[in-house]
């Protein structure tokens, strides 16, 4: 597009540009040019500065106020630096003084065409990129929905706060660090005299760990005969033998698993590399480990397939609780004070041991949340199994008879 109130100038410029193979339209004033631009796309504009009504400077400002404005060359008979600065600041992309030299004008137009070509290429790439970005956003949105659904399904696999045999109860708290957790736990009635329970924690986080934990939980669910036979060793040995690490990344799982007799309070338990459970009563809270109770900590699942697990026994009496938890509750780290630690965990439990189970679990998760400055660092799983408070739970240790 050529805009110049001088007819001879327009003819000269039109002839020059047509000789360059360009399609040219010309106008005697900016108003007519603006009207043409409403319905036509123009790549390059050459406009005179001094024109009646709207000047070239005003025309440049109007062009640059629009999106996808054309490349603009301003022509003027004044070559003073102040005029050059004013012309460029108005939005002109280049500036040529009159009388212009034809080879110089051609060179400036070729330079402008190169800029236009690069802008087109960039626009095409941006269009492609925006298309890919839109597809990626759609994919991420679908993935987010899938993860939310998977998280709901994972939550549905966990036990509800409910009553068990002989008025025993289970209460839980579950806070995954991401959408999906590598922790999973369960507590259920096996028959009218026994309950089964486990808490397992797969190494790592996110989807891969959650899929592994789900697979292990399914294997435990499907092995009903071992549960019915009250054979904890068979449950763990089978699970360890069938543990699969498809990418050979050193994946493993820690687990506490047990069976409790709700009539006698006797508990048979295996600790496969997991943090020691905690017994809580009115007088104290203490770890169920080799120091306090002869509970041996054994290898995590997935370390050695031919490993044979052995079972330990202890008793819960009336008004006692057994707390199972994942390492996320005590391995959380404060930016200044370091790790939360098991000693602090036990101290907090001792200080709040008279609280009701739901209140105590809430107190623990809140303490951990404050310690890690409300930035979730790992999955937190808590499951508290409570004996009945009635007097028919014996206070002397008795063995389970199969």
pLDDT one-digit tens code per residue, 83-118 = 777 778 887 888 888 888 888 888 988 998 998 899
C-alpha closest to that of 150 among 181, 192, 108, 121:
181
Q: In this predicted model, which residue has the larger pLDDT, 194 or 57?
A: 194
> What is the per-residue pLDDT across 125-169, written as a single tens digit (0 to 9) for each?
999 999 999 989 888 887 777 666 666 666 666 777 788 988 999
**Strand order, beta sheet including 321-325:** 162-163, 169-175, 380-386, 321-325, 278-280, 285-287
What pLDDT, in 10s, does the model give residues 345-358? 999 999 999 999 99
Instruction: Inform me whether the pLDDT recorded for 40 exceeds 80.
Output: yes
pTM score of the predicted model: 0.65
Element housing 183 (H / E): strand 183-189
Task: Determine which of 70-84, 221-235, 285-299 has the lowest per-residue pLDDT on average.
Answer: 70-84
Distances from the Cα of 341 to the Cα of 281, 334, 347, 381, angstroms: 21, 11, 10, 16
Q: Quickly list H helices, 49-172.
A: 56-64, 81-89, 102-156
> What local confidence, expressed as pLDDT, does residue 85 receive?
79
Q: What is the pLDDT of residues 266-287, one digit of tens each?
A: 999 999 999 999 999 999 999 9
Q: What is the pLDDT of residue 183?
A: 81
Q: What percent of the chain has pLDDT over 90?
A: 46
| Domains of the chain, CATH where assigned | 2-123 (3.40.50.2300), 157-386 (3.60.40.10)
Q: Is 239 helix (H, G, I), strand (E, B) or coil?
A: helix
Q: What is the pLDDT of residue 180?
A: 60
Residue pLDDT, tens place only, 359-391: 999 999 999 989 988 887 778 889 999 998 633
pLDDT for residue 36 is more than 60: yes
Tell me the sheet residues that pair with 324: 383
Say yes or no to pLDDT of 204 above 80: no
**What pLDDT does 393 receive?**
39
């Amino acid at each position: 597009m050529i805009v110049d109130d001088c007819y001879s100038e327009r003819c000269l410029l039109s002839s020059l540009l047509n000789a360059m193979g360009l399609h040219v339209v010309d106008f005697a004033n900016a108003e007519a040019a603006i009207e043409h631009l409403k319905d036509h796309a123009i790549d390059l504009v050459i406009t005179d500065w001094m024109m009646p009504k709207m000047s070239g400077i005003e025309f440049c400002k109007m062009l640059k106020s629009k999106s996808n404005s054309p490349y603009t060359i301003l022509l003027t008979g004044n070559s003073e630096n102040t005029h050059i600065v004013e012309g460029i600041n108005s939005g002109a992309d280049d500036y040529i003084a009159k009388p212009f030299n034809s080879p110089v004008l051609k060179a400036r137009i070729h330079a402008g065409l190169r800029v236009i070509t690069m802008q087109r290429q960039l626009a095409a790439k941006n269009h492609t990129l925006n298309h890919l970005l839109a597809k990626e956003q759609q994919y991420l949105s679908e993935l987010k929905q899938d993860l939310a659904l998977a998280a709901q399904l994972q939550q549905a696999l966990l036990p509800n706060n409910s009553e068990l045999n002989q008025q025993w109860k289970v209460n839980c708290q579950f806070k995954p660090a991401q959408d999906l957790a590598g922790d999973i736990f369960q507590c259920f009635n096996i028959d009218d005299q026994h309950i089964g329970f486990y808490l397992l924690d797969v190494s790592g986080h996110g989807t891969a760990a959650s899929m592994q934990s789900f697979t292990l939980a399914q294997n435990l669910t499907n092995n009903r005969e071992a549960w019915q036979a009250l054979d904890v060793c068979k449950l763990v040995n089978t699970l360890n033998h069938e543990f699969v690490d498809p990418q050979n990344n050193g994946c493993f799982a820690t687990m506490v698993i047990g069976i409790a007799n709700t009539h006698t309070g006797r508990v048979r338990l295996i600790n496969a590399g997991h943090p020691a459970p905690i017994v809580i009563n009115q007088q104290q809270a203490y770890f169920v480990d080799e120091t306090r109770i002869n509970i041996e900590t054994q290898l995590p699942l997935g370390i050695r397939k031919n490993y044979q697990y052995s079972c330990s026994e202890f008793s819960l009496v009336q008004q006692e609780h057994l707390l199972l938890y994942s390492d996320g509750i005590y391995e959380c780290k404060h930016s200044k004070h370091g790790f939360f630690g098991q000693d602090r965990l036990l101290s907090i439990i001792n200080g709040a041991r008279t609280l009701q189970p739901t209140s105590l679990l809430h107190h623990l998760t809140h303490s951990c949340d404050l310690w890690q400055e409300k930035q979730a660092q790992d999955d937190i799983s808590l499951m508290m199994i409570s004996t009945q408070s009635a007097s028919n739970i014996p206070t002397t240790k008795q063995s389970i008879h199969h």
